[in-house]
Amino acid sequence: MDFQLSDDQRALRAGVRELLAGRFGRDRMRAALDAGTGIDRALWRELGEAGFFALRLPEAEGGVGLGLPESVLLFEEVGRSLLPGPLIATHLAAGPVKGAAQGEAVVAVLDPGQSVAHLGEADALLVLGPGGAPRDAARVRDAADPVRSIDPFTPLWRIAGPVEADDPLPGGERLRDEGALLAAAEQLGSAARTTEMAVQHAGTREQFGSPIGSFQAVKHLCAGMLVRTELARCAVYAAAVTADPVEIAGAKLLADDAAVRNARDSLQVHGGMGFTWESDVHLHLKRAWLRSGQWLTAAAAEEVLAGDLC
């Protein structure tokens, strides 16, 4: 047993962090937010070329041939960076959906009963539930209304009627679990990032003649954030190794919790700054809220985990 990152995994993580910092650093992220122009297709293709979507496709099929643990490290970085777009669905669709692996296609996910993120820009849809078949996005769009989304980076569409599924995808039943795991990884990255932001602010902002981080009330908020992050990290990484549905449910539950609560505590540590549009904390919180409702909700996860006890 060696439950630590291998050298290759560390290198992969560093590489993705560098790529995202170069292509979607804070300035570009804020510019994208101001422009509100949805998905950057050029960046999408760049990610495709870097093997982002084809990471788990076998090398014989033009993929990178890596596994879920590596995907999790990738999506953790996505969560840190706030990179928008249906990255998880496109990653899962690499292979079955033409162009997804290369970053040519944008694939969104349709989970019956839920709003669809990025439907307006999607080329294809991954339908969750029985079948999980890719659907023609344009056809679904005709029956959908745009929602004013709480997350400025994630346009949402509400589907009016029921959608029939196409032929099932091979291995389609795994889609929800894998999506939940990768969403948990994004939450983990976000939780770690908002912790860093809080610690950074607490170490520099002074009140009463001292850095606010020297006050225990602030210190203990930060310590709590780290504890949530590190427990979620172990849950997410272990679930990536075992791919066990119960373990994935636990990982999603703890990572949702870490992302949402850390963003809220980080906001508190930032004081009035935390309540501004200018600060990035709200962007993390809003995305964390959305992701909590996607792939596997807390209620559903808890039922899976309860079922495991019988």
Give me the residues that bind another protein (CB under 8 A), please: 1-6, 9, 69, 195, 199, 202-203, 210-211, 213-216, 218-220, 222-224, 226-227, 230-235, 237-238, 240-242, 246-247, 249-251, 253-254, 299, 301-310
Residue 198 CB, nearest approach to another protein (Å) = 9
Closest CB to another protein among residues 101, 258: 258
Q: Which element (helix H / strand E) includes 303?
A: helix 298-307
Residue with Cβ nearer another protein (159 or 260):
260
C-beta neighbour count of 56 within 10 angstroms: 21
Q: Please say which residue, 115 or 262, places its beta carbon nearer to another protein.
A: 262
Q: Which is nearer to another protein, 8 or 145 (CB)?
A: 8
Q: Could you identify the residue written with the tokens 């993705």? A: 16
- Minimum distance from residue 77 beta carbon to another protein (Å): 16
CB 147 within 8 A of CB 162: no
Q: Between 8 and 136, name the residue whose CB sits nearer to another protein.
A: 8
Nearest to another protein of 56, 135 (CB atom): 56
The least CB distance from residue 190 to another protein, in Å, is: 18
Closer to another protein by Cβ: residue 100 or 232: 232
Measure the CA–CA gap between 191 and 187, rounded to whole angstroms: 6
> Cβ of residue 128: shortest distance to another protein, in angstroms?
21
Location of structure tokens 């990290």:
233
- What one-character DSSP code corresponds to residue 294? S
Write the single-letter amino acid at 102.
Q
The residue among 95, 56, 285 whose CA lies nearest residue 181 is 56
Residue 114's SS3 state is: coil
CA separation (Å) from 14 to 18, 77, 112?
6, 9, 36
N- to C-terminal Cα separation, the chain: 28
Alpha-carbon distance of 66 to 56, in angstroms, equals: 5
Residues in contact with 266: Cβ distance below 8 Å, sequence separation at least 6, in sequence order:
194, 195, 197, 198, 225, 274, 281, 284
**Contact call for residues 52 and 103 (beta carbons, < 8 A):** yes
Closest contact distance (angstroms) between CB of 260 and another protein is 15
What is the smallest separation between the CB atom of 111 and another protein, expressed in angstroms?
21
Q: How far is the CB of 220 from another protein (least distance, A)?
A: 4
Nearest Cα to 117, choosing from 137, 98, 97?
137
